[in-house]
Structure 1
Amino acid sequence: MSARGSSSVMADELPQKALQLLNSPDYYFIQKFLTDMEESQDKMTLYEYCVENHPYELFLKLSEHLLHSPGNTLEIKSKCADLIHSLLDSPSDSCSIWRSSTDIVKDQLKSRILDILEGDNPVNVCELMWKTASQIFSCIIAEKQGEWQGMLRFFFDSLFSGPLYIQDCALSFFLDLPKCMGNELRHYFPQLKSTLSEKFYQSEGMSKFLALCALVNLVQHMSIDYYSQFSDLLLPMINGVSHFLGNKDEEPHAQESLKKLVELVVTEPSFFNSHLDQVFTALIKISKDESLEEETRCLAVEVMYAFDDNSIKKVRKGIVLADLGDELIRMVSCIPHKSGNYLVGEKFLHRIAILQSAEFHIPAVLEQIARLTTSLNWRDRYAGATFIGLITEGCGKGISDNRGGVVKLVFKLIADSENNVCFATAHTVCTISTLCKSCSSSYLAPHLQIIVNALLEIIKSQSSEIELLQAHSLEALASVARTSKDLFCTFYESVITSLKELLPKATSNSVKGNAVECIWTVAVVVGKDIFKKDANEVKDILLNIGRNLREDDHSLKVTLLQAWEQLIICLGYDFCPDDLMPGLLRAASLDLNNATEHDMLRVKLRACELLLCLTSPFNNEFHKWIDMVSDILVPLVTFRDKDIRKVAISAMPELLISAKHFIETKLDPPSRNSYLKRLLLQIVPSLVEALEKSAGKCLDKEKILRTANVVEKVLKATLDDQFSEEENVTEQEKHIVDEIVNYYHKLVKIYDESSWTIIIRFMEYQIALMRNAATEKQKQIVRLTFKNEP
């Protein structure tokens, strides 16, 4: 067993051995310890004890040995530098040695590190100690821990002179400087510019790469006011990237440089404004170079993609539309590659189609797509299918002016049997939706048979591999139905049959959702007379889908609720909502939680809207649900979401009207007043509270009058003897009077003169209740109002 395999040192011996190691003046003893440490568990245990209990003394011993030990070998110096770096690593961490040291100790640490940096050390020692210094310096500046006397001056001296490897180390130090240093760096801008320019033109390899990284960091540190001082370094920097590509061994440097340029474009796009055309030209040249690795070519495109829309619009049109467009189409055709580079091409092509749609010469573009779609290589056909889908969305007018050619290409692509092309044809199917938005039913008529048949063929496919295409086809079919209007009735039977077969079998939520939308669109387009024979079956299918939804299927729940609303509009009184109500009431009663509140809020709002939708056409039949609906909606008149509040408040008059129908037709006279009073006692206080919470002082005179409508109904009920037949005012009636008085008091308090008109109306009711023919109970109510008025 090796010595490292076991440890014989006792814990109580460690303090004494640590003092012996740290206080020993014998350099060779220390060297022996460092040389054997990796192979001795005892020595490693002792070292770890020193790190834990005597870190500062250990640092002094290691740094002293690095600086002054006679006959130090490269191995020993490297070992000391490595241990010092590990000892002081991550100074910003709360548990770091640096953070736990006193200010006096920190000053001593800084002084000793600077002594090491100024010494004559090999490359690997310099790299480690510059890295240690940069971490500590950044911590000092970022956390305002004072100064490091002499460090910044030494850094610039090293950057501008000395051996090349020292200059490279100084550049590495520069890369870690915090951005709050920008103000101090401005004094060194002329020297920095000269040094970086020299490195771009004369240096090779790592030095050139570090100079590029340094310029990127410098621009991120400086104010935009100083851009002009460094803008003439931009093209040398770009040319430096191209220079790397002249040597295959340096292509990794080019890739890392392009990644740094992406970072700079994202954070400081305006730095490139004066040379946008040249930058794009150089990057397109890299992206088109077939001798380079695909990753390098894609990174060049990613730099261009990182520019914001305003910058891309400023680039000369020929560069973007011709040279770059061709390269992006090539990238799209690279779909088999695992790198996913084709997605970058697809996204960028989409942006260009939108940003520069007016510059596209659509006939020429269609010719290019036609050439791609006739290729024997399915990848080219895939690129053609993707291209037409993307430009259709971005170039709506140009596409609609060339509908014939577009439709011809779409039909050809839909018929392509290659699965991968079929996947891309989802883009071209979306073209149909776009065309429908820009053309009339008369234009669509000659193509309707072919379009519907092609879409149904995709929809009826049993392959799970084309679910995305099915979803897009359903969306397109709905667009065709809306556009073709009455003409679509001819295809109703085949379409409704396919949809009824698809929905129960669909597993993808995107397919289910689009199928549900398609089925209600078709129902609305053909009308009740045609649809009603399938209505019950469709209703059962939708109810079954709703019953089998997962709790987090919020988007599909919203789609289903929208479907019910449209079917109610389509069928009117022929729609029976009995089966729908339990699920609808549950959705409207949802308790929201923070994790999915936004999604659940959409479901709750749509359910409340549907309840409101049901109250109007079904007033005569709505009485069976009034209590349940009022229990849900009345509390929502003060709900925190304004859209739900609006729906709930709008439903209150409808509930009262339904109640009126109910008591007049279904209840005997003795029961009417008690039912109405119970509902009024539930509704009126909530409306008063909602007015106070929601309106603030935002109501004008007209709105004040409108908000009083419900309260006036209460007053009129009192005047018409619709309160209880008891001789005296009951407690419930007193409560209603209190709420009315509170309501008017709030109007006067908030709106002053604006509320005068409605106060006069209130007084008119009071006067009418005190007429000679008034009952004693009515006069009691008037006295109560005066008594309760503040």
Structure 2
Amino acid sequence: MVTTPKSAKKLPFIDLYSDDDKLRKSAKTLFNYSKKYFPNSLIEELFQAIECSPPGSRTGILYYDVLSDVLPSLWTKLSLSKRNDLKIRLHEKVWLETDYETLKACSSCVSSLAGLLFPKNEWVLLFHLMFEYLGTNSSNGKLCVMLLWNELIPKCPEVFVPYVDFLIEGFTDLMPTVLEDHRSRVAAARASVKLIFLLEDLIVLVGVETAVFKVNIGVVVKYMVRIAENSKLGEKLRQLSIEFIVTLAEDREIGCGMMQMVPKEEVTKLLSVLIVMLVHIKEDPCWGNATSDDENEGQLSMCSYAMESLDRLAIALGGSVIVPCCAVGLFDLLHDQNWRIRHAAVTAIGLISEGCSKALLLEMEKLVQTIVKLIHDEHPRVCWATIRTIGQLSTYLSPRFQEQYHQQLLRALIEVLDDVDNPRLQTRAASAIQLFSQNCSADVLKPYLHNIVRKLVGFLQRGTAMMKEASLATLASLAISSQEDSAYLYDSLMPYLKVILETATNDTSRTLLAKSMECITMAAMAVGNLAINDYVEKVTAILISLHETQTVIEDPMRRLLLLECGRLCKFLGADFLSYLSLVMPVALKSALLKNYLSVSDNSDTDDSDYERDNISESKENIWSFRALKVSQMFYEVISHCT
């Protein structure tokens, strides 16, 4: 408890902090009586006590604390003249106070009242000065304004939403000027953290109560775009501002409609910001010598976030909004002299393809010629990004994309397969052909099939591990797509696949073996050829061996191997019965793994031979796609072995 100095004994209600229980109880009774019947007098007494307290004294701080507690509840009971007088006196106190501890108590008191008045626009002078003092040269003024912002941002965040961009800019300019003053620096840092929390809270709010922003949505989005545009700000703030808009757009019930009210120029600015963020990739002289084709290699965090946001925004808003807002500027960037900008532009086209497929198809006639040129760009990273984009367009613009542009694109991709100096480009081209073929008719593929197969088989003979794995995946896809030509493909492949099986050792790549199994089973299914009978035992043994080496439950290899067992059963039919005793224990073991047969909020969408339409879309009851792989294998066994 506080020991009250003798000089302060005559101050009102000082016994509220006395060590004597009787004095404290008596003071509290009088205090509560005054609150109820004499609020004007009580507030005046407290303020007089503050003014009579010695500078920097503990007594003055205690009175500020008391005043801070009672002001919000008594405010409406005070006379209008008393309210106006109190605002003026508190306003003077907070800007003139020089003692640090007293200033903290004073700013807390002012904030308790401002938090009540700012939402009602009833303390305009203080509100304006808080912004003005962000640029003051007074060290005491800087400290005071940071203390106020630190208190007020969490008290009435909705008031400051339209000024977020100004606040961030003001804080950014202020920070370098307070580095030598520890107290001001700490206050500024705390206020900045509260500002970040404000943005995070807004993102949560827009996700659950989207309609709250409906009236001022144009202004709010405008300021969020300003923050995103400001390259002087940190990544965290810029990403939060983008996340707010994307979260808003993803609300299909209300938010997407609200985005239609936002001026088109703001959407255009946001898309430009995201495309510019895509240039944040490292220049790595050894990039082409990598042993794996990692899509995320070299991406800085800003680039990764922009890729995700652009994809989500395109899906949320659709091509009717996205393509008109970015078409002209984006397509011009494809011809920029800076390789990073060309890389960003062609990457952006691939990213928006899922959400803007119809609109992009209308633009594709203008784009295809440029895309083909970029496949042979002088910079290998641009070539690689272009080939990846072709794969994305093949997925989301199919089958019209394949039907209309197969001559230009397949010929260009086949040329890349011959680029022996760039194995990474060869690998990516093989993967793009795989995606191109998955939604492509056999008639479209037929003129190119022999040439593609010949080159991919060459990869199996002479290529690196990543080239072999990519070629196997592509050949497996071609086996299904090529229909009557699948026999040619099967006959071309099997000699090399047999070599892989027969020479497999413990040192052989697990992924390469699994891809070989996939290619064998898919090719055999396509051709209906039972020549594989001689190798069934070897295939089964390798599948089981690969299963037994799985140490990570979530390894996608496990799903792939289960599918291959299902295919093996499907084309062998009753002949598979002799292998059940080997395969079923492996499948049952996978089925019993913890977290392997689990209910999940996130269904896997990759590697799906299974009818995804059968998966319930209810988030409360979506079976993990991993479980469906096990179920599918059991289904194959039951239906083809009985």
Aligned-residue RMSD, C-alpha: 5.6
Aligned runs of 1:150-161 on 2, under 5 Å? 151-153=115-117, 160-161=124-125
Aligned runs of 1:603-752 on 2, under 5 Å? 605-606=631-632, 608-613=634-639, 615-616=641-642
- 1:313 and 1:355 in contact (8 A); partners too: yes
Larger radius of gyration: 1
Give the distance between the partners of 2:337 and 2:514, measured in 1 at CA. Answer: 32
- 1:175 and 1:217 in contact (8 A); partners too: no
* 2:444 aligned with 1:458: no
After TM superposition, give the deviation of residue 264 of structure 1 in Å.
4.0
Give the distance between the partners of 1:208 and 1:471, measured in 2 at CA. Answer: 53
Give the distance between the partners of 2:155 and 2:68, measured in 1 at CA. Answer: 19
* 2:535 aligned with 1:531: no
| Structure 1 counterpart of 2:260 | 273
After TM superposition, give the deviation of residue 477 of structure 1 in Å.
0.7
| Structure 2 counterpart of 1:205 | 170
| Structure 1 counterpart of 2:432 | 428
| Structure 2 counterpart of 1:176 | 154
After TM superposition, give the deviation of residue 225 of structure 1 in Å.
6.1
1:492 aligned residue (490, 493, 496): 490
Letter in 2 for 1:480: L
Give the distance between the partners of 2:591 and 2:431, measured in 1 at CA. Answer: 39
Deviation digits for residues 652-688 of structure 1 (CA, Å, limit 9, x no counterpart): xxxxxxxxxxxxxxxxxxxxxxxxxxxxxxxxxxxxx
* 2:311 aligned with 1:309: no
After TM superposition, give the deviation of residue 452 of structure 1 in Å.
0.8
- 2:319 and 2:358 in contact (8 A); partners too: yes
| Structure 1 counterpart of 2:380 | 378
- 1:565 and 1:613 in contact (8 A); partners too: no
In structure 2, do the counterparts of structure 1 residues 492 and 254 end up closer, same or farther at CA, with 3 Å as the change threshold?
A: closer
Give the distance between the partners of 1:589 and 1:236, measured in 2 at CA. Answer: 55
Give the distance between the partners of 1:431 and 1:606, measured in 2 at CA. Answer: 24
Give the distance between the partners of 2:168 and 2:489, measured in 1 at CA. Answer: 72
Give the distance between the partners of 2:225 and 2:555, measured in 1 at CA. Answer: 52
1:323 aligned residue (322, 329, 336): 329
After TM superposition, give the deviation of residue 519 of structure 1 in Å.
0.5
| Structure 2 counterpart of 1:11 | none
* 2:387 aligned with 1:401: no
Give the distance between the partners of 2:235 and 2:590, measured in 1 at CA. Answer: 55
| Structure 2 counterpart of 1:584 | 584
Letter in 2 for 1:473: S
Deviation digits for residues 729-748 of structure 1 (CA, Å, limit 9, x no counterpart): xxxxxxxxxxxxxxxxxxxx
| Structure 2 counterpart of 1:120 | 94
Give the distance between the partners of 2:310 and 2:406, measured in 1 at CA. Answer: 32
After TM superposition, give the deviation of residue 381 of structure 1 in Å.
1.4
Give the distance between the partners of 1:110 and 1:398, measured in 2 at CA. Answer: 65
In structure 2, do the counterparts of structure 1 residues 571 and 300 end up closer, same or farther at CA, with 3 Å as the change threshold?
A: closer
After TM superposition, give the deviation of residue 166 of structure 1 in Å.
2.8
Letter in 2 for 1:205: G
Give the distance between the partners of 2:101 and 2:336, measured in 1 at CA. Answer: 47
In structure 2, do the counterparts of structure 1 residues 447 and 153 end up closer, same or farther at CA, with 3 Å as the change threshold?
A: closer
After TM superposition, give the deviation of residue 161 of structure 1 in Å.
1.5
| Structure 2 counterpart of 1:233 | 219
- 1:354 and 1:393 in contact (8 A); partners too: no
After TM superposition, give the deviation of residue 453 of structure 1 in Å.
2.0
Aligned runs of 1:292-303 on 2, under 5 Å? none
* 2:417 aligned with 1:414: yes
Q: SS state of the match for residue 393, structure 1? A: helix
* 2:333 aligned with 1:368: no
- 1:481 and 1:522 in contact (8 A); partners too: yes
| Structure 1 counterpart of 2:241 | 260
Deviation digits for residues 608-651 of structure 1 (CA, Å, limit 9, x no counterpart): 435524652xxxxxxxxxxxxxxxxxxxxxxxxxxxxxxxxxxx
Q: SS state of the match for residue 597, structure 1? A: coil
Q: SS state of the match for residue 401, structure 1? A: helix
Deviation digits for residues 744-771 of structure 1 (CA, Å, limit 9, x no counterpart): xxxxxxxxxxxxxxxxxxxxxxxxxxxx
| Structure 2 counterpart of 1:652 | none
**Residue correspondences, number:** 496
Letter in 2 for 1:365: L
After TM superposition, give the deviation of residue 227 of structure 1 in Å.
5.1
After TM superposition, give the deviation of residue 266 of structure 1 in Å.
1.0
Give the distance between the partners of 1:576 and 1:303, measured in 2 at CA. Answer: 48
After TM superposition, give the deviation of residue 204 of structure 1 in Å.
6.8
In structure 2, do the counterparts of structure 1 residues 457 and 212 end up closer, same or farther at CA, with 3 Å as the change threshold?
A: same
Letter in 1 for 2:425: V
| Structure 2 counterpart of 1:754 | none
Deviation digits for residues 234-280 of structure 1 (CA, Å, limit 9, x no counterpart): 576368559x85xxxx8227983563243244145544322352112
In structure 2, do the counterparts of structure 1 residues 287 and 379 end up closer, same or farther at CA, with 3 Å as the change threshold?
A: same
Deviation digits for residues 358-377 of structure 1 (CA, Å, limit 9, x no counterpart): 32324x32211222122222
Give the distance between the partners of 2:225 and 2:633, measured in 1 at CA. Answer: 61
- 1:280 and 1:319 in contact (8 A); partners too: yes
TM-score, normalised on structure 1?
Answer: 0.50
Mind listing any 5+ residue stretches in structure 2 that lack a counterpart? 9-46, 75-85, 135-144, 175-191, 249-254, 282-299, 599-623
- 2:94 and 2:106 in contact (8 A); partners too: no
1:390 aligned residue (372, 389, 392): 392
| Structure 1 counterpart of 2:20 | none
After TM superposition, give the deviation of residue 349 of structure 1 in Å.
3.8
Give the distance between the partners of 1:520 and 1:304, measured in 2 at CA. Answer: 38
After TM superposition, give the deviation of residue 413 of structure 1 in Å.
2.3
- 2:68 and 2:109 in contact (8 A); partners too: no
In structure 2, do the counterparts of structure 1 residues 524 and 258 end up closer, same or farther at CA, with 3 Å as the change threshold?
A: closer
Give the distance between the partners of 2:518 and 2:539, measured in 1 at CA. Answer: 12
| Structure 1 counterpart of 2:597 | 597
Q: SS state of the match for residue 596, structure 1? A: coil
| Structure 2 counterpart of 1:477 | 475
Give the distance between the partners of 1:376 and 1:565, measured in 2 at CA. Answer: 45
After TM superposition, give the deviation of residue 411 of structure 1 in Å.
0.9
After TM superposition, give the deviation of residue 323 of structure 1 in Å.
2.3
Letter in 1 for 2:154: D
Give the distance between the partners of 2:238 and 2:48, measured in 1 at CA. Answer: 39
- 1:389 and 1:428 in contact (8 A); partners too: yes
After TM superposition, give the deviation of residue 400 of structure 1 in Å.
2.0
Give the distance between the partners of 1:537 and 1:200, measured in 2 at CA. Answer: 65
Deviation digits for residues 206-247 of structure 1 (CA, Å, limit 9, x no counterpart): 4999999989978958976675642453576368559x85xx
Q: Percent identity?
A: 15
* 2:269 aligned with 1:282: yes
Mind listing any 5+ residue stretches in structure 1 that lack a counterpart? 1-18, 28-62, 89-103, 138-147, 186-191, 617-790
Q: SS state of the match for residue 274, structure 1? A: coil
| Structure 2 counterpart of 1:708 | none
In structure 2, do the counterparts of structure 1 residues 590 and 260 end up closer, same or farther at CA, with 3 Å as the change threshold?
A: closer
In structure 2, do the counterparts of structure 1 residues 500 and 372 end up closer, same or farther at CA, with 3 Å as the change threshold?
A: same
Aligned runs of 1:18-167 on 2, under 5 Å? 22-24=3-5, 70-72=54-56, 107=69, 119-121=93-95, 151-153=115-117, 160-162=124-126, 164-167=128-131
Deviation digits for residues 398-432 of structure 1 (CA, Å, limit 9, x no counterpart): 23222111111111222333244345435423344
| Structure 1 counterpart of 2:523 | 522
- 1:429 and 1:472 in contact (8 A); partners too: no
- 2:514 and 2:557 in contact (8 A); partners too: yes
After TM superposition, give the deviation of residue 67 of structure 1 in Å.
7.8
Letter in 1 for 2:471: S
Higher RCO structure, 1 or 2 (CA under 8 Å, sep 6+): 2
In structure 2, do the counterparts of structure 1 residues 278 and 205 end up closer, same or farther at CA, with 3 Å as the change threshold?
A: same
